[in-house]
Amino acid sequence: MNQSGTKHEFEGNEEIRNALSDRKRPKKPNGVSTSLTFGWRALLKIKYVPEQMLDVTAFPIMFLLMFTYLFGGAIAGSTSEYLQFLLPGILAMTVVTITMYTGIELNNDITKGVFDRFRTLPIWGPSVLVGMLLVDTVRYTLASVIMITLGIIMGFRADGGIVGVLLGVGLLLVFSFSLSWIWTTLGLILRSEKSLMGVSMLVLFPLTFVSNVFVDPRTLPTWLEAFVDVNPISLLVTATRGLMHGVATFEEVASVIIISVVITAIFAPVTMYLYRKK
C-alpha cells in the first residue's frame, strides 16, 4: 500500500516537473525597460507624496520673486534690468541645489531595506540608479519651465530667442545630471539622509552664493573674483546666461560640457562599484 502510494506520488511529481519544463521561461528584461520601470516607481512616489515637489514648484517661484524685488533696485537700479541678469543664474542655482535629492532618495531606500530587495532581482544592476536619475531630469525640466514662464510674465526677454532658451536649459540639464552622480556616491557612503543633506549643503551653499548668480564678479574683491571665475557654478551660469541672451561663446559652452563629462566619468564608475559592493 505504501509502495503504491509512493509510486503515484512520484508519478504526480514527475508530471508537474514535465509541465513546468515545457513552459518557456520569460526573457530577462533589458536595461532600458528596467530603468523605465524604476523611473515609473519614482513618479508614483511623487503621486502619493506630492509635497516633495515643492522644491521644483514653490521654491523657484519664491526665489525668483524674492531676489528680483529685494535686490533688483539696489544692485541694478531697476528690477526689470536685474531680472535679465538674474533669471538664468537663479535658474541654475535652483536646479543645481535640487540635485542632492537623488542621493537622499537612494539613501532612504538603503536605510529602509528596499535597496537589498532590488539587488536580488534578475535585472540590470544600474537600472535602479538610472531610473532615479531619469525622473530627476524630469524634475529639473519642470523647475526650469516654471521659472522661465514666471520670468516671462515678470518681463524677462531672452535675446537668444526660443532656441537660446532651449539650449541653455539643455546645458543646465546635462550639468545637473552629472552632478547627481556625486550625490548618489555619497548616498551609498553616508549613513543617514540628514548627514547627506548636511554635506551637500556644505558644498552647494558656498559654490552657489559665491558665484556670478547674483552679481557681476568685477564688483568683487580681486581675491574673491579669482575664485568666482573658476567656480564651476559660475561657468555654468555664464554659459546658460550667454545662450539665453545670444552671446555665448564656444569656449564657455565647451567648458561646462567638459566639466560634466569629467564629473560623470569619475563618479558614475565609483557609484556603480559601491552599488555592487554595498
Q: How far apart are CA 97 and CA 90, in angstroms?
A: 10
Q: Is the pTM higher than 0.75?
A: yes
Q: How far apart are CA 197 and CA 200, in angstroms?
A: 5
Per-residue b or e along 150-162, where b marks 16 or more CB atoms closer than 10 Å to that residue's CB: bbeeeebebebee
CB 123 within 8 A of CB 29: yes
Residue 125 φ then ψ, to 5°: -50, -50
pLDDT confidence of 278, banded at 50, 70, 90?
low
H-only helix segments in 49-123:
58-76, 79-97, 100-112, 114-119
pLDDT confidence of 1, banded at 50, 70, 90?
very low
CA atoms 206, 212, 214, 220: torsion sign: positive
Which comes out higher in pLDDT, residue 110 or 250? Answer: 250
- Residue in this structure with the C-alpha cell 528680483, named with its chain if needed: 68
Of residues 130, 139, 24, 150, the one with CA closest to residue 87: 150
- What is the rounded average pLDDT of the residues 220-233? 90
* Per-residue pLDDT at 10 exceeds 50: no
Report domain extents, the chain. 50-277
